[in-house]
Amino acid sequence: MIGFIEGALGAIRGNRAIVHTPGGVGYELALPLSVLAEISGRKTVALHVVTVVKDDAIDLYGFDTAEAKALFERLIGVSGIGPKAALAMLSTFSPERLEGAIVAQDVALISTVPGIGKKTATRLCVELSDRLARHAVQQGTVSGGRGDLISALTNLGFPE
C-alpha cells in the first residue's frame, strides 16, 4: 500500500493529478479540489495517500495533510459512504469545516454536498460525531463552550 508520495507534478485532468516519482513511475491520484488548486503550478508535490483496493481497480487518493487523510479514512469507514462521496465532501468543505458540521450534526449543511442525501448525512453524523468530538478534545481543537464543557466533564471523571 502507498501511504505517502513525493515527486514531480505531471498532468492534471479533472480532479486527478499524476505524480512522477524519481524511480520513473507516474502515479495517478484523485485529489480534493482545494488540494488541486493548491498544487497547480508547482513543480514538485508531497502528498499523503490512501490506497483503496477494489475488485477491478486500485485507486489512490491524495491529501495535503495527515489530518485530511485521517478524516477521509474515517468517512469511508461509514456504511454507505465510498471514496468518491468522501472526496466530494472534502472538495466541498475544508476538513475543519466538515468535522465541525459532523460534530454539530448539521445534516442540512452536509447534505448540500453533491451525492449526499439527508439519510446519508444523518448516518454520517450519528456514526462519527462522538468520535470526532473526542478527537477534537484530545487535540485541543474544539473551540467555544462545547470544548470547555467536554473538558470540564472529563476532568470530573465522566467518560469521554
Residue 140 has pLDDT above 60, yes or no: no
DSSP H or E segment with residue 44: strand 44-53
Average pLDDT, rounded, for the chain: 89
Would you state the cell numbers that stand for residue 146, as one nine-digit string? 462545547
The rounded Cα 87 to chain-centroid distance in angstroms is 7
Residue 160 has pLDDT above 70, yes or no: no
The domain ranges of the chain are 4-63, 66-155
Express each pLDDT in 10-46 by its tens digit: 999 999 999 999 999 999 999 999 999 999 989 999 9
In three-state secondary structure terms, 26 is strand
> What fold is seen in the domain 4-63?
OB fold (Dihydrolipoamide Acetyltransferase, E2P) (2.40.50)
| pTM, two decimal places | 0.81
Q: What is the pLDDT of residue 150?
A: 72
With beta carbons less than 8 A apart as the criterion, state whether 39 and 51 touch.
no
Q: Do domains 4-63 and 66-155 have the same CATH topology?
A: no
Q: What is the pLDDT of residue 159?
A: 75
CATH number of 66-155: 1.10.150.20
Percent of the chain with pLDDT over 90: 78
Residue 151 has pLDDT above 80, yes or no: no
Rg (CA), the chain: 17
Q: What is the pLDDT of residue 145?
A: 61
